Amino acid sequence: MKVIWHLRIQHEFFKNNTCRGIEINILPETVVLLNRKGWIIRPIGWGEWDLITFSGMEPDEKDTISLEITVADSFLNCITDWQDCKPECSYSLELNGREETILFPPIMANNNIKKVRPGIICRINFTPGKQSSYAEELYNDILLRASKLYWEYIFLFRNGKTERNLLLVDTTQHILFGKIETTTFLGKTALSCRSVEKIPLREEPISQLCLQEICTSGKKELFNRLPLPEPGIFVDACEDTIKQIIYI
């Protein structure tokens, strides 16, 4: 047994970049090639696959492994920075196992990218036969970029009184929030606050948010650790925003 090629798809959102919710489709012409060569493509972990030969047959110059990358978990659509490359507008990557980590979606000016059929995130065409030596395992890493979104907090008051002087602070000093303003949410008067800049989404954010109230006697801590906003929860949020509702 020998590993010819290792493919790893990672995602900035997840801890250690381990990407969950991705699957591959092996195209029919590649299935024929695998059967003829005595090769298999075997999953070895989340987002990782090996191309393995049991027969000892090395790749020929014209051998091409064609795979389609698909989203198996719709949550990925909420956390991935698709930019102009939406899941319904797929692209093809020509790989040889020697490229550096490939950021995806790729730079649109890259000449080795072209649209393929809708419904597939990306098609990979790997041609190992163009390598001069097989002593070293070939590999490709593809890194999906996480979305950057504004964080918005909506504060609803059980007594209906919104005349409160609140202050939202990130104790880790990674996120700066703007001024808290009056808004309307679900027909009720509320207060809202939004981050000054877009924040990269992470499975385990390092920020710790504290809600304070400024009183005549000084600052009063209302929440020492607010729940952080999560993607895909509030469908009414703006496309560039994730939202969290806090009741006071």
Q: For 135-184, write each residue's pLDDT tens digit.
A: 577 899 999 999 999 999 999 988 877 888 899 999 998 999 999 999 98
Say if residue 205 is preceded by a cis peptide, omega within 30 of 0: no
Residue 34: phi and psi, rounded to 5, are -60, -45
Q: What is the pTM of this model?
A: 0.83
Pairing type for strands 113-115 and 91-95 reads antiparallel
Which 3 state secondary structure label does DSSP give 224? coil
- Position 110 scores a pLDDT of 46
Residue ranges in the chain modelled with pLDDT below 70: 83-90, 106-119, 129-135, 235-237
Instruction: Give yes or no for a contact between 139 and 97, defined as CB atoms under 8 angstroms apart.
Output: yes
Classify each residue of 55-64 as buried b or exposed e, where b means 16 or more C-beta atoms within 10 Å of its C-beta: eeeebeeebb
- Position 118 scores a pLDDT of 53
